[in-house]
Amino acid sequence: MRAEEILEHLVSFPVFGGQSNLSIAMWIEEYLAEQGLTFTNVPNEDGTKRSIHCRIGPAVDGGVILSGHTDVVPVEGQSWSHDPFTLTDGGDGKLYGRGSCDMKGFIACCLAVLPDMLKANLKKPIYFAFSYDEEVGCLAGDALAASINDTYAEKPKYAIIGEPSMLQPVVGQKGIVVYKTTLNGSAGHSSGIRKEVSAIHEAARLILWLERKMDRLIESGQTDDRFVPNHTSIHCGVFKQSGAAHNIVSDHACFLWDVRVIPKDNAGDILHEFEEHCRQVTISCRERFPDFQITTELYHPNVVALDTPEHLSIVPFIKELSGRNDLGAVSYAAEAGQFAEAGFESVICGPGDIAQAHRADEFISKEQLDKGVDMIRQLVRKLS
Ligand SMILES: [Zn+2]
C-alpha cells in the first residue's frame, strides 16, 4: 500500500486523545502481522488503550526509533468543508482529514516503507513506536520508551519523533506541566469582606503572582531565543467552581495553570516558590479564618523539555536524512523529551506543517507526504 492509501485508513479511525485507541491499534497490528512482524503492546491499566512497538532488522545496538502517536484532537466547534474522518483529495495537492498532518501522515510513511525495510539487508535495526493519548499530555510516551528499553537486549541509539515540522530537524521542545490549585474561604455576607476570607479574591491574587513570576523570570534573563516566545510561560486557563451569589463571600475557588518551560527553567522550582508564597498567604489569612487552606496538585503529569545539544551525532544524521541544515525549536509539547530522557538521542522531524495541526480542514500536502516517505527510504539506505 502507498502512504496515501494507508493514511486513508488511519484517518478513518476517530481516535481522540483520552479515548480508547484499540480500533486503530488493531488495524496497525494487522498490517504489521501481514508483513510477518511480531510486535509488543504497552497497554494502559484497564486495557482500553495500547501503544505498539516492534523491531525491524537485526538485534544489534545503534538502531533508530520512529515514533508517532495514534490519537488526534477533537473537531467539535470547527467548521470543516469535508468529513474530517474521510481523507479527501482536495485536487489542490492537499489531502484533508483530522490527523492527516498531526501525525498519522508520518505513521503512514513508516508503514508504507516497511516492505522496503524488510527486503533491505539492514545492518542496524529500525523500530516503530506508536503511542496513544499524546494530545492530552503525552501520557503514554514515558511507558513506551521504557518498554523499548526493557524489551530489547540491544540499545537503540536515536529516536525520530515525526511531529509535523516540514521535515526540519527540531532539537528543542518546551516542557509542560499543569497544576490545579484549590482554595477555601469563609462564606459570609459580602459586606463583611474585610473580616472574611474570599477564596475568589485570594485566588485572583495568586494568579497575578504567577503572572509576575513569569515576568520576573524574563527580567532576570531566563530566555532562550530558539523558542517563540523565548521564555517560560505561566498561564491560568480555567477558573471554576467559584462563588454562590454576588452577595456571599466565596468559600471555594479552583483554577488550573500551565507552565511551559524552556529547557533551562525547571517547573519544579517554580512550583516550589509558588507553594512557599502560598504558605505565607495561608498564615496571614488564618488570622481571619483559621480553616483557610490552599492546595496545589498535579493536574497533568510533567512532560519534559527536549534540548538535544548540537554535538550529538544525531544532529548531522538527521540533517543528512532530511536534507535540511537549519535546526529548529518548538513551543508545543511532544514525546521527544520523554524519549531523550529514556536515553535515546532524540529529534522531532516529520512531514507536514504544524500550522495545519488542530485546525479545521487540517491537511498534509502530497509533496510533504512523498518527502516523508523519501526520508524513511533514505534511512533504510543509510542503515543497510
Ligand atoms: Zn502531534
> In angstroms, what is the span from residue 342 Cα to ligand 1's centroid?
19
Report the topology of domain 3-173+305-383: Aminopeptidase (3.40.630)
**From the CA of 69, how far away is ligand 1's center (Å)?**
7
* Residue 172 CA, ligand 1 centroid: distance in Å: 15
CA of 210 to the centre of ligand 1 (A): 28
Angle at 253 between CA 249 and CA 255, to 5 degrees: 150
Q: How far is the CA of 135 from the centre of ligand 1 (A)?
A: 7
| Cβ-contact 213, 276 below 8 angstroms | no
277: CA distance to ligand 1 center in Å? 36
CA distances from 374 to 47, 113, 365, 366 (A): 35, 9, 14, 12
- Ligand 1 centroid to Cα of residue 153, in Å, is 29
Distance from Cα 99 to the centre of ligand 1, integer Å? 8
Residue 222's pLDDT is 96
What is the 174 CA–ligand 1 centroid distance (Å)? 14
Q: How far is the CA of 358 from the centre of ligand 1 (A)?
A: 9
Contact status, residue 175 vs residue 305, Cβ threshold 8 Å: yes
**3-class secondary structure per residue, 247-259:** CECCCEEEEEEEE
CA of 286 to the centre of ligand 1 (A): 45
- Residue matched to cell numbers 498567604: 281
Residue 332 has a pLDDT of 85
Q: Residue 347 Cα, ligand 1 centroid: separation in angstroms?
A: 14
Helix 3-11 / helix 22-34 crossing angle, nearest 10 deg: 150
CA of 274 relative to ligand 1 center, distance in Å? 31
Ligand 1: distance of its center to the CA of 336 in Å?
11
Residue 237 Cα to ligand 1 middle (Å): 21
Measured in Å, residue 122 CA sits from the centre of ligand 1 at: 28
pTM of structure:
0.89
* Per-residue pLDDT at 333: 85
Q: 134 CA distance to ligand 1 centroid (A)? A: 7
CB 146 within 8 A of CB 341: no
Going from the Cα of 16 to the center of ligand 1, the distance in angstroms, rounded, reads: 12
DSSP label of 225: T
Q: How far, in Å, is the centroid of ligand 1 from the Cα of 185?
A: 40
Q: What is the CATH number of domain 175-302?
A: 3.30.70.360
CB 333 within 8 A of CB 303: yes
Phi, psi of 271 (to 5 degrees): -60, -45
Distance 30 CA to ligand 1 centre (A): 23
The residue ranges of every structural domain in the chain are: 3-173+305-383, 175-302
Q: What is the Å distance from ligand 1's center to 170 Cα?
A: 14
- The answer for residues whose C-beta is within 8 angstroms of residue 64's C-beta and 6 or more apart is 124, 125, 126, 127, 156, 157, 158, 159, 160, 379, 383
Tell how far the Cα of 180 is from the centroid of ligand 1, in angstroms: 24
pLDDT tens, residue order, the chain (384 aa): 999 999 999 999 999 999 999 999 999 999 999 999 999 999 999 999 999 999 999 999 999 999 999 999 999 999 999 999 999 999 999 999 999 999 999 999 999 999 999 999 999 999 999 999 999 989 999 999 999 999 999 999 999 999 999 999 999 999 999 999 999 999 999 999 999 999 999 999 999 999 999 999 999 999 999 999 999 999 999 998 678 999 999 999 999 999 999 999 999 999 999 999 999 999 999 999 999 999 999 998 889 999 999 999 999 999 999 999 999 999 888 999 999 999 999 999 999 999 998 999 999 999 999 999 999 999 999 999
**298: CA distance to ligand 1 center in Å?**
23
Separation of 55 CA from ligand 1 center, angstroms? 22
Q: Per-residue DSSP letters for 113-154?
A: HHHHHHHS--SS-EEEEEES--TTT--SHHHHHHHHHHH-SS
Question: What is the 106 CA–ligand 1 centroid distance (Å)?
Answer: 10
- The pLDDT value given to residue 243: 87
Q: How far, in Å, is the centroid of ligand 1 from the Cα of 139?
A: 13
Q: What is the DSSP letter of 45?
A: T
